[in-house]
Amino acid sequence: MFESLSDKLESAFKNLKGQGRITEINIASTIKEIRRALVDADVNYKIAKEFTDRIKDKAVGEKVINAISPGQLMTKIVKDELAELMGGQETEFNAKGNPAVILIVGLQGSGKTTFSGKLAHFLKSKKGLSPMLVAADIYRPAAMEQLKILGEQTGVDVYIEEENKDVVSIVKNAVKESRSKNKNVVIIDTAGRLAIDEAMMTEIANIKNAVNPNEILFVVDSMTGQDAVNTAKAFNDRLNFSGVVLTKLDGDTRGGAALSIKYTVNKPIKFISSGEKMDTLDIFYPERMAQRILGMGDITTLVEKAQEQFDEEQAKKLEGKIRKNKFDFADFKSQLEQIKKMGNLKDLMGMIPGVGKQMKDIDISDDSFKGIEAMINSMTPQERANPDLIDSSRKKRIAKGSGKDISEVNAFMKQFEQMREMMKNMNKMNMFGKMMGMKR
């Protein structure tokens, strides 16, 4: 995400390389380039100007200490200001109630229905809640069908009244039904509407008054940039929503919405979403997003995703095997399966500092592991448990069984040995334990 903005900001910092001190003279061109990068990312010029003025005020005259170069110091200042622009700290999501009512609003095509399904999955799988989805889009029959499918995928009940055309009575009935079924969260997926459509805006205001929601989330297609920010203001003036959701961050996102919306409506971004899969929803952390925009990675999120998938007992056993250099192909295959559950591979690689930029032009498919898995599946149980058994004749059999060339098998074996060595070194530094959230 935000590749173009990241590249332009990195280019701006190059002007300060080799300088011993930040001055008004050597910072001028850097500030100008940062401002241009933000405007190109579809950030309003007034916001970009105020942002760069604050950076200049903080940076001018700062002495380089502890061997920090001006470029590094400027990167930190920009990172802190970016995080502040996007909200500073993550904001709590209020899903407490009997039931808690979450109202989902936004423009047509912004991704509200898909987000509603993802939010239900998130609250059920990660927060241990019992949500119910409500189909309150009475104008688009496909929306009801889509919500029904999402409910089936996530194992969440969906409330639908196909013949009722009074949306206010639908949501009231849904809340009543949720109590009878002991649901503690109701997620209302509403119809897309234009801010200039007075009848539709009155309808959503009536829904709000009828159910008194704990949260009103405005869903924004992050690819629409400044237009989305202007629309958000119109919706907020009418509904006083509690937070923003940025969707479609896996698309050609310039960054304007993410960087401008908090400044414009003074409401926090609460969630970010990418892709169609139900598990591609994350809490929005301004600090982490600022780090990713500046190519600094996001190790915290990567560790959290790893901890969600890796059982501590399993991790301890694996760590013991790595320490004894007994890590084998069966372990490797098991780890591949866990990694695939963590999310999109390219996104995961982008969370590693310095790696995201190198990977940006490389297409990494979620099927990337299929060839490796085929080779492991072609091994006997003894070969998987004892890689040293695999000689040239066994490699030929593995190649034939997996439909691979012998050179690919040799390359994989070599990479596996290199990885075993790397894991052994990581273990010495207790990196593996930290990744799994373990304590010695």
Give the model confidence (pLDDT) of 389-431 as tens digits. 999 999 999 999 999 999 999 988 888 887 777 766 655 555 4
pLDDT of residue 131: 93
SS3 (DSSP) at 360 = coil
Instruction: Give the CA count within 13 Å in the CB-facing half-sphere of 403.
Output: 4
CA distance 350 to 364: 11
303 pLDDT above the threshold of 50: yes
Could you tell me whether strands 185-190 and 215-221 are parallel, antiparallel, or unpaired per DSSP bridges?
unpaired
pLDDT-derived band at 220 (thresholds 50, 70, 90) equals: confident
CA distance 8 to 39: 11
Cβ atoms within 10 Å, residue 419: 13
pLDDT of residue 22: 66
- Which CATH number among 3.30.70.890, 2.60.40.10, 3.50.50.60, 3.40.50.300 corresponds to the domain 100-296? 3.40.50.300
Q: What percentage of the chain has pLDDT greater than the value 70?
A: 75
**Dihedral in degrees, nearest 10, Cα atoms 156, 162, 168, 170:** -50
Which CATH architecture best describes the domain 300-435? Orthogonal Bundle (1.10)
pLDDT of residue 355: 46
pLDDT of residue 358: 46
**Dihedral in degrees, nearest 10, Cα atoms 208, 209, 214, 215:** 20
CA distance 375 to 383: 11
Could you tell me whether strands 131-136 and 157-159 are parallel, antiparallel, or unpaired per DSSP bridges?
parallel
pLDDT: which is higher, 61 or 56:
56
Name the most confidently modeled range: 131-140, 290-299, 410-419.
Answer: 131-140
Q: Give residue-wise pLDDT tens across range 327-384.
A: 788 877 777 777 666 665 556 555 555 445 544 554 555 566 788 889 999 999 999 9
Could you tell me whether strands 281-283 and 131-136 are parallel, antiparallel, or unpaired per DSSP bridges?
unpaired
Inter-residue contact 303 to 437 (CB < 8 Å): yes
Task: Report if pTM > 0.85.
Answer: no
pLDDT of residue 423: 66
pLDDT-derived band at 436 (thresholds 50, 70, 90) equals: very low
Q: Which residues pair with 281 in a beta bridge?
A: 273
Whether cis (ω within 30° of 0) applies to the bond prior to 99 is yes
CA distance 414 to 70: 42
Retrieve residue 417's tokens: 């040995």
Over its C-alpha atoms, the chain yields an Rg (Å, rounded) of 25
Domain chopping of the chain, boundaries: 3-85, 100-296, 300-435
Q: Which of 40-49, 114-123, 216-225, 355-364 has the lowest mean pLDDT?
A: 355-364
50 pLDDT above the threshold of 50: yes
Q: Give residue-wise pLDDT tens across range 197-218.
A: 888 888 999 999 999 999 999 9
Inter-residue contact 280 to 274 (CB < 8 Å): yes
Residues 6+ apart with CB under 8 A from 345: 339, 364, 365, 366, 368
Question: Exposure pattern of 4-41 as b/e (b: 16+ CB <10 Å)?
Answer: ebbebbeebbebbeebeebeeeebeebbebbbebbbeb
196 pLDDT above the threshold of 60: yes
Whole-angstrom CA distances from 1 to 119, 294, 344, 350, 356 are 21, 11, 13, 9, 10
Alpha helices in 240-285 (DSSP H): 256-265
CATH code reported for the domain at 3-85: 1.20.120.140
pLDDT of residue 104: 94
Alpha helices in 126-192 (DSSP H): 141-154, 167-180
Over range 54-66, report the average pLDDT.
Answer: 68
pLDDT of residue 43: 84
Q: Which of 62-71, 79-88, 406-415 has the lowest mean pLDDT?
A: 62-71
CA 210-215-216 angle, to 5 degrees, is 75
pLDDT of residue 264: 85
Q: Which letter does DSSP use for residue 163 in this model? A: S
Inter-residue contact 239 to 106 (CB < 8 Å): no
CA 59 to chain centre: 31
Whole-angstrom CA distances from 324 to 269, 320, 329, 414, 421 are 46, 6, 15, 19, 11
Instruction: Name the average pLDDT for the chain.
Output: 79
pLDDT of residue 366: 57
Q: Give residue-wise pLDDT tens across range 14-27.
A: 766 656 566 677 77
Q: Give residue-wise pLDDT tens across range 245-260.
A: 988 876 655 667 778 8
